[in-house]
Structure 1
């Protein structure tokens, strides 16, 4: 079990442009500055920062706890004109682990861009891009269910670009199209590595019919197409495990020909390439200007397009 305790004695330092501007132009109608600068500092104790089992795993790791601290400065710019908006945010994070004898600090870098424009109420365009280089899985992975649970050494990269087009049909009805492109590149190579398992080029395209029930609630009916290409180009687990097992069984190490025969039975990254079709319906609800809830239900069909040698194309609902 991985427990994470944050100290109550956290320190936070922020210098927000809008706050200083209000003080400078008190009673003035001039617009607030669109920029902000902030920094956060917190302490913590993580009783299993390696997310490893109590007994040593095959990587030689075992459960260890550590005190630590996290420092994160950031700067952002967001501005809104009549029909156009734009924003940029840069954030750096440094996480220190007292237990580590070497490489005690993890670094993370986040950058995001946004742009929106309304063409006279006939069409709205929103562009967003998010870039991350980090070791923390929750920064790299976008889904609530992580495919990587452990911190991974190196500058692991994830970039996500989004294009959203919204076309009003009537006062309550609109059509929304969206394209999302995500690239993941882990700084680890070899069979069974993060790169072999998780490097990917992911694309999704969706088309939604949206109906405004009330000012806060919107009904949604839509379709989404997804394509995932695993780009690691390696074995999904280390061939050395099979070689060691062969040696332990036969008493002699495998020859090159025997190694080739053994590795022929190991799936590769591209065997997990797939296409998916998702039909869904649901509701969006704006509780406040900063809190939105979404509910979706539907059916998904997935087809694995590059199956392992000796198998046929697999698909499932």
Structure 2
């Protein structure tokens, strides 16, 4: 069946509210049937995730604003609280930084995970049709990474190794990057690699700041990303990757926390891609 003007949203079932919201969700679909004959509108409700997912109220409210059409609660007072919170924060800017990792696309279905706040809140093993996934990402506007890209690391490592020889940076930084590249290829320890690459990225931006006399704070990675954005006219694709790296660095590494292996791999490889894009942009 072809579909046209597909309507897609979430129905949230809230089981408990304390400092966090605990909830499950269904998908609400409406579409127009383009089969021969009179135009027919059809509706369907399907599971989205059935395990109790928890996130803070701010995250739930932003998801409600972008994706959730209906909310039901076990305790009526919880619905009153959530509605009051929604009304009070109706004009708050978006801040949850969604990130989607696509595992597989086959048989008109997309299997993926979605994370918010630099992997602080994670929803795993979700499945949507291709059409639903397009609407989901259009509304949520996340950074999206395909597993097939990250699983093909050999060419990325080789491209980075070649580019590093010709880039204009200090010899000591080149040596440290080469050493870390060799380490991650031999050990696949992405947790260690993403910490090291994040620190080396800070060093590289500081070198660019000094060389080009850029104005701005010479602080942590977040501050330096701001300096790059204000002075270096970076492409949007580069800024999107920097957001993937900046959040975990601020929310996890700087507080002595760790990332799941899969997330650490994405951050480490994002760092390599950032370096490559910066090599091409700034020489």
* Higher-RCO chain (CA-CA 8 Å, sequence separation at least 6): 2
How would you bin the TM-score normalised by the shorter chain?
Answer: under 0.3
Determine which structure has the larger strand proportion and give its number.
Answer: 1
Determine which structure has the larger helix proportion and give its number.
Answer: 2
What is the TM-score normalised by the length of structure 1?
0.24
